[in-house]
Amino acid sequence: MHYHIILTKECNLNCSYCGGGSDSPPKEIQYSISDLKSFLSRDEAPAIEFYGGEPLLRIETMKKIMDAVPGRYVIQTNGLFLDRIEPQYLKKFHSILVSIDGKKDVTDRNRGEGVYDRVMRNIKLIRQNGFSGDLVARMTVPQGTDIYENVLHLAECGAFDHIHWQLGFEMFWEGAEPGLEEWIQSYNTDISLLVGWWIEEMERTHHVPGIVPFTGVMNSLLNGTQSRLRCGSGIDFFAVMPDGRISACPVSIDFDFSVVGSISDTPVSLCNRVLVGEPCISCDIFHICGGRCLFVNHAQDMLRKNGYALICSTVRHLAQELEAAAPLIRELIDSRVIEKDALYYPEFNNGCEIIP
Ligand code: SF4
Ligand code: SF4
């Protein structure tokens, strides 16, 4: 299974849609690494994903865990301290997920002046220092974002293997700024344009651009597989909180519904203790969407009146566009323009939620 290890709740940025992470105590790890090791040793093949706050603020703890616990390693980081990871540890990472929102002006507006340049410099450096794994750009998409232009920017810069995005939560909250309906319409139009670009790129280059929401859903459509919650929260992905309790989702750690146990439990006993409920389980595209987000599903009372319906309209649009594109993708596979395996992503749940 998969585990987010929250190394600290502290962050060295104060992004507009986050505000520096959770403030609830404790902020730092209270359990011993041997306790963590003992918990993870009861899982045959753990995938361990460092998370925060900003995990690289506690680089020494991270290294101690990597030295002590065998497993597949992933990190989600804002990228500012990637230059501090020594080559022997960099080489151990299967995937590095770096927060970046697209173009320089967009990233710096959301995350702070100079962030884009530091991230781009650091990702070049980790490649030079021996990181050969999967480099994923993780975008947060607040209201007003031009998703087409910003995804294209990250795809065309050539630095990332994959690009994933997630809609910002706060725009769906009660009392959020007006104009959301109009922006959702333009977002959906941009998704159509992006799917068109994605297919044209396959025809032109014989390569599948690593647009995670598209590959993840298309792979299921082509194989006819039914999906449960794609981020895996509460199913096979858990977050180890600094006090040793386990949350189904790394974002909803301060919500009671999300706490499913602690590191004194056996990992497998944590599975399916909290699941998505209505309206998802009666939804006609549940098998494609999987319920999108456990947190939002359990926090519906925090959303603006039509918030859930607006989120779902984006999922429906994405699914429709990809279903419409599926016959063409099949043709490209049959005529050997692209390899079917190129759509097999992610190989394991690497922290990309698939459905934005
Ligand atoms: S489209 Fe909406 S209602 Fe349907 S499964 Fe997804 S999140 Fe749930
Ligand atoms: S999609 Fe929702 S439930 Fe899943 S990890 Fe993200 S915030 Fe948590």
Q: Is 354 in the pocket of ligand 2 (CB under 6 A)?
A: no
Residue 213 lies in a domain: yes
pLDDT reported for residue 12: 85
Q: What residue type is 37 in one-letter code?
A: K
Q: Is 240 helix (H, G, I), strand (E, B) or coil?
A: strand
User: Ligand 2 mean position to 158 CA, how many Å?
Assistant: 28
Protein residue with least CA distance to atom 2, ligand 1: 312
pLDDT reported for residue 19: 57
- Residue 135's domain comprises 2-343
Q: Which atom of ligand 1 is nearest to the CA of 296?
A: 7
Closest C-alpha among 224, 290, 285, 297 to residue 255 = 297
Give the helix ranges, DSSP H, for 81-225: 87-90, 104-111, 115-128, 147-156, 180-205, 212-223
Would you give per-residue pLDDT tens digits along the chain (356 residues)? 999 999 999 998 888 777 556 778 999 999 999 999 999 999 999 999 999 999 999 999 999 999 999 999 999 999 999 999 999 999 999 999 999 999 999 999 999 999 999 999 999 999 999 999 999 999 999 999 999 999 999 999 999 999 999 999 889 998 888 999 999 999 999 999 999 999 999 999 999 999 999 999 999 999 999 999 999 999 999 999 999 999 999 999 999 999 999 999 999 999 999 999 999 999 999 999 999 999 999 999 999 999 999 999 999 999 999 999 999 999 999 999 999 999 999 888 888 999 99
Residue 356 lies in a domain: no
Q: How far is residue 351's CA from residue 95's CA, in Å, rounded to a whole number? A: 9
User: Ligand 2 mean position to 228 CA, how many Å?
Assistant: 13
Q: Is 48 in the pocket of ligand 2 (CB under 6 A)?
A: no
User: Ligand 2 mean position to 219 CA, how many Å?
Assistant: 21
Residue 354 lies in a domain: no
Q: Which atom of ligand 2 is nearest to the CA of 229?
A: 4
The CATH number of the domain where 292 resides is what? 3.20.20.70
Protein residue with least CA distance to atom 8, ligand 1: 280
Q: What is the dihedral of CA 205, 155, 160, 203, to 10 degrees?
A: -20
Q: Is 310 in the pocket of ligand 2 (CB under 6 A)?
A: no
User: Ligand 1 mean position to 248 CA, how many Å?
Assistant: 19
* CA-to-CA dists, residue 161 to 50, 134, 164, angstroms: 20, 6, 10
pLDDT reported for residue 350: 84
User: How buried is residue 346: exposed, middle or buried, by Cβ count under 10 Å (0-12/13-18/19+)?
Assistant: buried
Q: Which ligand is nearest to the CA of 253?
A: 2
Are the CB atoms for 1 and 236 separated by under 8 Å?
yes
Residue 348 lies in a domain: no
Q: Is 251 in the pocket of ligand 2 (CB under 6 A)?
A: yes
pLDDT reported for residue 233: 97
Q: How far is residue 274's CA from residue 227's CA, in Å, rounded to a whole number? A: 17
Residue 351 lies in a domain: no
Residue 353 lies in a domain: no
Residue 103 lies in a domain: yes
Q: How far is residue 233's CA from residue 311's CA, in Å, rounded to a whole number? A: 18
Q: How far separated are the first and last CA of the chain, in Å rounded?
A: 22
pLDDT reported for residue 274: 98
How many structural domains does the chain have?
A: 1
